A and B are shown apart, each in its own frame.
Chain A
Amino acid sequence: KQEVTQIPAALSVPEGENLVLNCSFTDSAIYNLQWFRQDPGKGLTSLLLIQSSQREQTSGRLNASLDKSSGRSTLYIAASQPGDSATYLCALRGGSSNTGKLIFGQGTTLQVKP
């Protein structure tokens, strides 16, 4: 059974720091992996999607990597800002097609202090 783990559960950093959020999974047979951001009481905003054949994706100050062989994905946030404060969720779709269920990690709650 696929399990997704995010470490740390919470992180507090001063503004301007570069930081890395980690996501690990137990079964390397994944279709794709998606990073989401969630503000308190709000829906999920998709940040980056990495297909199983890709190693990384970049959007602005965000970079996500995927290493299926080691069962890991990282989300790198450069020059963090107070507006980056939110919960970050990784979610993967297992199997070999886009019909697999999305499996979420528990999330990392990030606080960026001014």
Chain B
Amino acid sequence: DTEVTQTPKHLVMGMTNKKSLKCEQHMGHRAMYWYKQKAKKPPELMFVYSYEKLSINESVPSRFSPECPNSSLLNLHLHALQPEDSALYLCASGRTGGLDYGYTFGSGTRLTVV
């Protein structure tokens, strides 16, 4: 299995809603990442997990709350989002030791905040 699977593919939520994005990989990667991508822009790093521990938080607002319950799963909990948070949210995974074989990205969740 060489894929990163993200669910749901599309999500529409109100500003008072609570929702979660899910990411799963079975490649044995111990580093997992959340990226945010606005239209016609490159992905921007949000969070990095290494061995299930949060190692990097790129000053992301607290309305985004990441969670890594095990080495295969990464969640992003959303609460009280703003319309400007509408974007494509991408999950990625990679190795943490030895030779780096690069990142593997999921297909993303298209989030619309209304």
Contacts and interface: CB of A to CB of B under 8 A. Distances in A.
Contacts of B92: 44
Contacts of A93: 100
Interface stretch (A13-21, A77-85, A104-112): A104-112
Contacts of B12: none
Using C-beta atoms within 8 Å of the partner chain, give the interface range for chain B.
Answer: 20 to 34
Interface residues of A, number: 23
A101 B103 contact: no
Given A93-B100, A107-B42, A42 B108 contact: yes
Interface in A45-62: 45-46, 49, 51
Interface of A: 31-32, 34, 36, 41-46, 49, 51, 89, 91, 93, 98-99, 101-102, 104-107
B96 A104 contact: no
Nearest to B109: A43
Interface string B82-98: 00000010101011111
A44 B90 contact: yes
Contacts of A107: 42
23 contacts: A32-B100, A32-B102, A34-B103, A41-B108, A41-B110, A42-B108, A43-B6, A43-B90, A44-B43, A46-B103, A46-B104, A46-B105, A49-B102, A51-B100, A89-B42, A91-B42, A91-B103, A93-B100, A98-B97, A98-B98, A99-B50, A101-B45, A101-B56
